């Protein structure tokens, strides 16, 4: 039996995997699947997995909802807090050109960035979705539900929203937070290995190389060095591997 005194607390508690009953299922349809159901409602099904109506071949991704994540944050630090990176004149969070919002999540005195968008929702539902998505993204930087992000890339937001002066990217600050030059050199070698695998038309080997990195900041550091096509190929390959495990 585990000694209660040895139970993880604080930031370490955020790295503890969530229980099965705390994990929900998110249907992730392709554009073609979504358009097929829009064109013919009967092309969809009442899903026994998530309860929604969608194309029968939709992939489901595991994710932790807003309530379960909030409960974990409160257990780790009752005084945890989040705030938008930028606030407009009316006191409301500033959204970027894609309708997304950058936030700062502070847990146990440590602050990290997160990004969320509304996933096509509007009105009050969009506000709630945007906040929940940003909290999940920021909490992932602390290691919360990292195993689920790794398996399914739920709402992966490591790609810069835009480029140009004054734009904050998720990878900003990752190198400084890692700090150790020897570790950065090792991560650069992992990045090179991933690129070599992709260039050799071996995306599954690239995924395996990427999976050797488990620290959130290290993952962001390496992910930020890949271009959009490389990231897309890795994400697609991960989903295919999850559906067809060898």
**Domain boundaries of the chain, sorted by first residue:** 171-246
Residue from 242, 210, 114 nearest 168 by CA: 114
Q: Which residues pair with 166 in a beta bridge?
A: none
Q: Quick check: 228 pLDDT over 50?
A: yes
Q: What are phi and psi of 183, to 5 degrees?
A: -70, -40
Cα separation, 133 vs 28, whole angstroms: 15
Q: Please check whether residue 230 is in contact with residue 195, taking contact to mean a CB–CB distance below 8 angstroms.
A: yes
Classify 183 as helix, strand or coil.
helix
Per-residue pLDDT, averaged over 2-28, amounts to 81
Q: What is the reported pLDDT for 244?
A: 64
- How far apart (Å, rounded) are the C-alpha atoms in residues 113 and 184? 21
Helix/strand/coil for 115: strand
Half-sphere exposure of 79 (CA within 13 A, CB side): 4
The mean predicted confidence, pLDDT, of the chain is 82
**Residue 123 burial class via C-beta count within 10 angstroms: exposed 0-12, middle 13-18, buried 19 and up:** exposed
User: In angstroms, what CA-CA distances link 159 with 98, 109, 120, 216, 227?
Assistant: 13, 27, 18, 15, 8
**Top-confidence residue, 17 or 73:** 73
Residues 135, 192: contact at Cβ < 8 Å?
A: no
- Give the pLDDT band of residue 208 (cuts 50, 70, 90): confident
Can you give the pLDDT at residue 221?
83
- pTM exceeding 0.75: no
pLDDT tens-digit readout, 118-174: 877 888 888 999 999 999 989 988 989 877 765 544 444 444 444 444 444 545 566
Residue 85 has pLDDT above 90, yes or no: yes
């Amino acid at each position: 039996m585990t000694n209660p005194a040895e139970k993880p607390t604080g930031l370490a508690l955020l790295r503890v995997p969530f229980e099965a009953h705390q994990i929900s299922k998110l249907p992730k349809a392709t554009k073609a699947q979504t358009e097929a159901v829009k064109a013919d409602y009967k092309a969809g099904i009442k899903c026994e997995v998530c309860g929604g109506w969608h194309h029968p071949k939709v992939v489901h991704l595991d994710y932790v909802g807003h309530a379960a994540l909030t409960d974990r944050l409160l257990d780790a630090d009752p005084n945890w807090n989040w705030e938008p990176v930028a606030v407009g004149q009316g006191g409301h969070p500033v959204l970027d050109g894609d309708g997304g919002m950058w936030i700062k999540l502070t847990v146990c005195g440590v602050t990290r960035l997160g990004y969320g968008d509304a996933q096509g929702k509007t009105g009050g539902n969009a506000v709630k979705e945007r906040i929940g998505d940003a909290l999940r993204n920021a909490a992932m930087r602390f290691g919360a539900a990292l195993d689920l992000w790794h398996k399914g890339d739920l709402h992966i937001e490591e790609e810069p929203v835009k480029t140009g002066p004054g734009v904050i990217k998720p990878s900003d600050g990752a190198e400084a937070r890692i700090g150790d030059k020897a570790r950065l050199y090792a991560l650069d070698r992992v990045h090179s290995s991933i690129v070599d695998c992709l260039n050799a038309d071996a995306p599954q080997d690239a995924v395996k190389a990427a999976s050797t990195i488990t620290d959130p900041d290290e993952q962001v550091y390496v992910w930020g060095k890949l271009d959009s096509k490389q990231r897309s190929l890795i994400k697609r390959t991960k989903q295919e591997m999850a559906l067809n495990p060898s």
